Amino acid sequence: MPHAALQLIPGVDVNRTPALNQAAISSSNLVRFVPDRQGFGLVQKLGGWSTYFPNQIDSKIRALWAWEDTNANSYLAVGAEASLSYIQNGGQKVITPRTLTDNVAVSVSTIAGSTDVKIIDTGSSITKYDSVYIETPIAVGGIVLFGVYPCINPLNDPDEFHITAASPATSTVTNGGSVVQFSTLSGSSSVTVTLANNGYLVGDTFPVVISTTVGGITIYGNYIVEEIIDPDNFVIYANNLASTTVSNQPMNGGNARYMYYIGVGPFEAGQGYGRGGYGRGGYGTGVPFVPANGTTITTTDWTLDNWGQILISCPLNGPIYQWDPTSGNTTASVINEAPIVNAGIVVAMPQRQIIAWGSTETGIQDPLLIRWCDVDNFNSWTTTATNQAGSFRIPKGSKIVQAIQAAQQTLVWTDLGLWSMQYVGLPYVYQFNEIGTGCGLIGRKAAAAMSGIVYWMGQSQFYILAGSGPQPIACPVWDVIFQDLDTDNLDKIRIATNSRFGEVAWYYPTKGNGGEISAYVKYNIVLQQWDYGTLDRTAWINESVLGPPIGAGADRYIYQHETSPNAAYNGVNNQPMLSNFQTGYFVIAEADLKMFVDQVWPDMKWGYFGGTANGTTQYQTPTAQVQLTFYVADYAGQTPIQYGPYYLTQNTTFITPRFRGRLVSIAVSSSDVGSFWRIGNMRYRVQPDGKY
């Protein structure tokens, strides 16, 4: 009987019909392809993973970041929905920022000629580690207080704290001040704003961050100053007409609203109280005090980066925080000068500037605004003639989706296209160019760079940034992802680069899975081939100072990949990995005749190079098994007949399936522990067996 060889075509193709996809793979799970000298790809079991940290994180993990301090200590930052923490030397420390919001009667004191301002907020127990965001503009002593200020409490008084105003007060006031007020006229869109000594000019922007309803009009957002009545009053136009006439209705019911960003620093001598009253904090013990007030922030996502040894973090649509591992601070602290609301951040190199997108100039978020700090100074964000802080508004699209640091530039994706942000120095600092249209990003973490090349997932296809600009990548597994994608949770998509194997994967949520990630699609950049499978990773980092890639599972455990031939689930290592694939139909003798196959000779590698075969010695019977199954049919639309599975080990020389047909598909799977396999050139013995 004659013999024939079967070498599988690398890559998975689900767009082709089964009969058209001859000897190529039609379905897969937890496999990969490695190149050979002939340019083909050999299919093998995917590298396994093990727990990086033994304990569950308190909530879904949405971001990971690895960095090192100047003492060569390595850290893994973990941004979860309910916490921000870091892992170092096998231990976890929570550094989640805390906030506290108070609505209190205005009680502010100023001294003529001084920038020192005293604020009374009974029981707030504010310390020098805290910052306050004054959300209601307050007129007092000839100045207006609005925005973020570092807090000062030299007296350790739990009822008062001090801030430094931007300009000196013109008069002395004791326990006074008032919030902004609005007046409307029935049938008019004109709104009179009362704010003493406000300093606004026609054309200026007046922000309202506390929504206020007056005269049937809801006032919120940025407004242009249309007319100056006197130093205390100006006019803005609302988006609709007032239904009633109202005079001097105060914002927030006349109360001040203070948003405190609680910072917890190392214990210092003389600090004998904690939040909520004196006596907390263990005076003289050297133990950091723990705040009794304030609430740890929650968020649906984080962006993380490092500024040298300092961790930079930004909760989605929140402020920017910093944490220095050598400072002794037990929580991340807000950067007071930074924009108060941002969709995300990235640290640009080599000039080292924080780039914030979906940012704000006024407190009202602008989804297309980019702001950046001064070079090498994240405490300087106001543009001056002598610094390099600045801003730019992308003129196209509805929002910025993501920005990343790529080779010699920062890349910024909107929902419609791709922009390049290149550092050019003073006076413009950055030059912006649109380098791609119709190639917008599908989700806020769907783009990454690897080996100098940028990959991303668009609304309906994948892209690569080549020398001639953005280019689509042919995707033969398009049906698998885009027809089953949960389009209500696109921002949960996570790109996962693996430079060890030249792979780029996208983990994505599927329909009917409760809005969470459950599947992946993977692209081999060397072979330019795809595969797909079922696995959840809610956050990912490529190879780093911590070694091989690290991913976070939907089970809230953190896993390090390429460390084992096995899987880990729910924090338990050495679990079976369910690797499998199935080919399309290949024809025997061009399907002119039915053919009879009575022998198949496997050709596989078992175990890693230089090691024993799947954990056995040369004198033991191998326990590792691969299942080989044949699906035989005469016509492509016919329900195939199954032969097998046949169990293969390293000692298997041949099997005798003895099947008869025109079309054959093979399936390979494994579910044991400790095994590795790679398939080469199978051979089979065949002879004609009639036409029917």
Give residue-wise pLDDT tens across range 220-230. Answer: 999 999 999 99
Alpha helices in 50-194 (DSSP H): none
Q: Residue 504, class by beta-carbon neighbours within 10 Å (0-12 exposed, 13-18 middle, 19+ buried)?
A: buried
411-467: per-residue pLDDT in tens?
999 999 999 999 999 999 999 999 999 999 999 999 999 999 999 999 999 999 987
Distance of CA 164 to the CA centre of its chain: 36
Rounded CA separation 62/59 (Å): 9
- Percentage, residues of the chain above pLDDT 70: 92
Q: Does residue 310 register a pLDDT over 80?
A: yes
Summary mean pLDDT of the chain:
91
Contact 237, 188 (CB under 8 A): no
In this predicted structure, which of 27-41, 286-300, 367-381 has the lowest mean pLDDT? 286-300
Residue closest to 132 by CA, chosen among 145, 116, 113, 115:
145
Q: For residue range 595-643, what is the model confidence (pLDDT) as tens digits?
A: 889 999 999 998 887 655 554 433 334 456 899 999 999 888 899 999 9
Are the C-beta atoms of 274 and 130 separated by less than 8 Å? no
Residue 189 in this model has a pLDDT that exceeds 90: yes
Say what percent of the chain tops pLDDT 90.
Answer: 79
Of 645 and 21, more confident = 645
Domains and CATH numbers, the chain: 3-45+579-688 (2.60.120), 104-260 (2.40.30.20)
Determine the average pLDDT of the residues in 640-648. Answer: 95
Q: How far is CA 444 from CA 331, 371, 415, 420, 448, in A?
A: 26, 18, 10, 17, 11
Quick one: pLDDT at residue 588? 65
Q: Please tell me the predicted confidence (pLDDT) of residue 2.
A: 66
- Supply the pLDDT for residue 618: 39
Calculate the CA dihedral of residues 541, 547, 549, 554 and round it to 10 degrees: -80
Tokens standing for residue 286: 């050297």
Query: Which pLDDT value is given to residue 269?
Result: 33
pLDDT band at residue 275 using 50, 70 and 90 as cut-offs: very low
Instruction: Decide: 595 and 689 in contact? Cβ < 8 Å.
Output: yes
Tokens for 629, please give them: 């199954």
Amino acid 52: pLDDT: 98
3-state secondary structure 232-291: CEEEEECCCCCCCCEEEEEHHHHCEEEEEEECCCCCCCCCCEECCEECCCCCCCCCCCCC
pTM (predicted TM-score): 0.92
Nearest to 679 by CA among 227, 25, 175: 25
Confidence (pLDDT) at 624? 67
Cα separation, 425 vs 142, in Å, equals 38
| pLDDT > 80? residue 284 | no
Q: What average pLDDT score do residues 97-118 get?
A: 97
∠ CA 9-12-14 to the nearest 5 degrees?
125
Contact (Cβ atoms closer than 8 angstroms) between residue 492 and residue 316: no
Neighbour count for residue 133 (Cβ, 10 Å)? 21
pLDDT at 268 over 80: no
118 three-state secondary structure:
strand
Mean pLDDT of the 354-378 span: 97
Across the strands, what pairs with 296?
98
| Best mean pLDDT range from 112-116, 154-158, 268-272, 681-685 | 112-116
Mean pLDDT of 34-52: 90
CB 655 within 8 A of CB 602: yes
Q: Is beta strand 31-35 parallel, antiparallel or unpaired with respect to 41-45?
A: antiparallel
Q: Kindly state the average pLDDT of the residues 478-498.
A: 97
